[in-house]
Structure 1
Amino acid sequence: MGRRAAALASAVFFLLGPGLEAGAGPALLTGGFARGDDLPVQPAWSVLGALLVCAGLLVVVRAFVAFVLEGRGSPTPAAPTGALVVSGAYRWVRNPMYVATAAVVVGEGLLLARPVLFVAAAAYVATLALVTRRIEEPALARRFGPAYAEYRAAVPGWWPRRRPWSPPATPVD
């Protein structure tokens, strides 16, 4: 897939994936990102929330860029990558987009004082853990074979490693 097509597919999927999950969904749950009275106002929680939102968005955007540049595709199964993406945040955790999107939703919950968003983030992670285990991982194993098996054995799915994983110098066949 060419870079333009990969970038377009990624942009559309960004709106339909993280855009709905961390944008439209939380907006619907909070009445348009309205601040709630569900939690006491604590500046430290607001700062932490802002940091989670910013860091999460940065990780998601960088992961999408890696799919276009390194993988020559997009995160959507409709326009998949031609190469296994194992750079950037993928060196720390196998599902950085999901982890980062959940962090954005938790950050929004802290910023807006809306505990319902903590529940939404937990439901999001639980659902995607099931989808990942049942659909995504088997598809990646079929597609990338031993390279994915080695990556999966070395990099945890949901909790980041202490140090980034370094792929072997020569690809595993």
Structure 2
Amino acid sequence: MAQASSPARAWIGTVLFLFLAPGIVAGLVPGLISGWRWFDWGSAWIVLFFAWSAIAAGVAFLLHAFALFAVHRGTPAPVAPTETLVVRGAYRFVRNPMYLAVLSIILGQALLFGSWGLVIYAVIVLAAVVAFVKGYEEPTLTETYGEQYLNYRRHVPGWWPRFTPWRE
């Protein structure tokens, strides 16, 4: 696997991957499914509050997680990984914050657009992500980082965040 060798290459690769992967999965495809048609929730403004909160939180955590990869001189893309295992920021609470952020964005849009199609899409994305994590990502990280990753995996849950940050 090639690593991004310079900070500039890491940031460029990270931004490109952001647009190519989550940009398509959490942006373009939900738009195509929903037609970007907002659902009229009438006086149920609380639904819009939760929808926008889920989208905003997802975007914030996604950008945070992506930035951590660039800071570690790599990208989230499997072809240009980081030089070291990323266990800072959101990764101290949960091993898969990017995937959870993408799902939050999709589910927020499902509420915003009142789209059951997006709920079904979110379930499909979750199944695909779990299969990818179990079939490729976890074995690759174990092979690459060895005991450091296994220790991290023992202490930080994959899908449900810890209440307190993990300290190595």
**Length-normalised TM-score, structure 1:** 0.91
User: Which residue does 1:44 correspond to in 2?
Assistant: 46
Shift of 1:17: 0.9
Tell me the SS of whatever aligns to 2:16.
helix
What's 1:24 paired with? 28
Question: What is the alpha-carbon distance in structure 1 between the residues aligned to residue 47 and residue 165 of structure 2?
Answer: 29
Q: Is the 8 A contact 1:91 1:164 kept in 2?
A: yes
Number of the residue aligned with 1:126: 127
Q: Which runs of 5+ in 2 are unaligned?
A: none
Which residue is 1:97 aligned to?
98
Contact 2:39 2:112 in 1 (8 A): no
Matched ranges for 1:1-173 at <5 A: 1-31=5-35, 33-36=36-39, 40-41=41-42, 42-69=44-71, 71-167=72-168
Tell me how far apart the structure 2 counterparts of residues 153 and 135 of structure 1 sit (CA, whole Å).
18
2: CA distance, partners of 1:36 / 1:111: 6
Deviation at 1:116, TM superposition (A): 1.5
Paired with 2:39 and 2:29, the residues of 1 have a C-alpha distance of: 16
Amino acid in structure 2 at the alignment position of 1:98 = Y
Amino acid at match of 1:100: A
Instruction: Find the aligned partners of 1:90 and 1:116 in 2 and give their Cα distance.
Output: 30
Consecutive unaligned residues of structure 1, counting only runs of 5 or more, are 168-173
Q: Distance in 2 between matches of 1:164 and 1:111?
A: 32
Amino acid at match of 2:24: L
State how far apart, in whole Å, the 2-side matches of 1:112 and 1:104 are.
Answer: 12
Q: Measure how far apart 1:56 and its partner are.
A: 0.5
How high is the sequence identity, in percent, across the aligned residues? Answer: 37
Shift of 1:122: 1.5
Contact 2:99 2:129 in 1 (8 A): yes
User: How far does residue 35 in structure 1 lie from its aligned partner after superposition?
Assistant: 1.9
Contact in 2 for aligned 1:72/1:81 (Cα 8 Å): yes
Residue 170 of structure 1 corresponds to none
Number of positions where the alignment pairs a residue of Structure 1 with one of Structure 2: 163
